[in-house]
Structures are given as C-alpha cells and as structure tokens.
C-alpha cells in the first residue's frame, strides 16, 4: 500500500512527512510528490496546508491538473483523503482569509476568522487544546475524548451540515476541529505535532 503526501510547496511539511514515515515503519510506502500519476495511483492521500487559505489554494492551482486529480481521487474514486490544518479548510466552498477565495467545494461551508471577542482571545490560536469527540470517526479509533491536540490557526471551518463534524474544540467559542464524510477526513489540529495521540490518528488513517 502507498500513501501520498501532496507536496504543492505550501510551507514546511517536514513534520508531516517524518510522522507518517515513523508510523509507517517501512510497512507502508510514503511518497511525497505533486506528480499527478502517482497521486492518482496511490491508495491514500494526505493534503497538508500551512499559511493562508488563499496562498494554499493558489499553490494548488499553480500545478496544472492537480485540483482535477484530487477531485478524481477523492470524489469520483472515493479513496481516503486526509486534510490537515489549511488542508481541512480548503475542503470548504469558500474562504475569507486575505480575500474571498473559492475552495475545493467538497464539504459545503465557509472558512471565517475566529471571533476573538474584541481581543480577549489571542490569534492565532496556538498550542495544546482539548478536543471533544462528538461522533464516531474512523480516525479517532482508540482516542479518548478530551484528548489534547496541537493547534495553530486564526480561521475556522464552518460547515453547512453539522453532521460532518467529528470533533470540536473550545477557544473563544466551540469550533470545528475534525470532520469526516465518507472517505474524506480533516483535522484542524496538527496530528503530526500532537505527540503519541497524534501519531495514533495518523496510524488510524494509514490502517483504514
């Protein structure tokens, strides 16, 4: 089996690569590429994202055919895909960071700035925070409710259909930190920076 981490030059993804390789332990092939053929032929895809919604979408669109290949992989062929941080946010219809930007549109909804209650809460939301698991998710197998995960973000994904939400976290208010819809998964937190519990989430995704 092979898992492809999409490298579309969206910031430093070394920790994502290292964590997946650590969990895979040579049993699963981890590829890091933007090669369309390799993405199409892989068993699972990881879509990381660092930086702004707009910069990540722009970077995806810069690689000719990449968005179509990801659509083909996740929507047409229903293969498992995991979006991390902005990788989750890009699944939405639209994002409002920097300027209004069209997302992948796989999960209806929008990405808006966290309400910091007039400066009461610092943005970005950085550090460890408790997650509340609100529905069974395959990637939360053997993960305890109220586990702590590592976050770095100023924007939140607000899906139209609340049934896609698998976990929330509270910072200023409750907001979405994980989604699952059929073969598509997303985490707002960084599993690759969330110690052993994060590695367990990566393991669960690899073993789907």
Tell me what pLDDT residue 10 has.
Answer: 82
**CA angle, corner 12, sides to 8 and 16, nearest 5?**
90
List, by residue number, the catalytic residues.
85, 190, 192
Domain of residue 95: give its range.
2-206
CA distance 45 to 86: 15
Q: List Cα–Cα distances, 138 to 4, 29, 104, 109, in angstroms.
A: 19, 21, 23, 22
Percent of the chain whose pLDDT exceeds 70? 100
Average pLDDT (152-160) is 97
- The domain total for the chain is 1
Nearest-angstrom CA–CA distance, 113 and 144: 28
pLDDT in tens, 106-124: 999 999 999 999 999 999 9
User: At 101, which helix (H) or strand (E)?
Assistant: strand 101-102
> 85: which DSSP letter?
T
CATH no. for residue 80? 3.40.50.880
Region of residue 84 (left: phi > 0; alpha: psi -120 to 50; beta: else) = beta
Which is nearest to 179 in space by CA: 142, 139, 129? 139
> Is-above-0.95 flag for pTM?
yes
């Amino acid at each position: 089996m092979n898992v492809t981490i999409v490298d579309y030059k969206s910031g430093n993804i070394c920790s994502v690569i290292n964590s997946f390789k650590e969990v895979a332990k040579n049993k699963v092939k981890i590829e890091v590429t933007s090669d369309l053929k390799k993405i199409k032929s892989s068993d699972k895809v990881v879509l990381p994202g660092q930086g702004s919604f707009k910069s990540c979408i722009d970077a995806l669109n810069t690689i000719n055919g990449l968005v179509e290949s990801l659509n083909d992989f996740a929507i047409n062929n229903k293969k498992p895909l995991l979006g991390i941080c902005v990788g989750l946010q890009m699944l939405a219809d639209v994002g409002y960071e920097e300027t209004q930007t069209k997302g992948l549109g796989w999960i209806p909804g929008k990405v808006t700035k966290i309400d910091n209650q007039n400066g009461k809460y610092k943005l970005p939301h950085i550090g460890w925070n408790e997650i509340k698991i609100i529905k069974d998710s395959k990637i939360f197998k053997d993960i305890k409710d109220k586990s702590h995960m590592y976050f770095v973000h100023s924007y939140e994904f607000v899906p139209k259909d609340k049934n896609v939400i698998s976990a929330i976290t509270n910072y200023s208010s409750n907001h979405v930190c994980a989604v699952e819809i059929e073969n598509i998964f997303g985490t707002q937190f960084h599993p690759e920076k969330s110690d052993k519990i994060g590695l367990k989430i990566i393991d669960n995704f690899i073993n789907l």
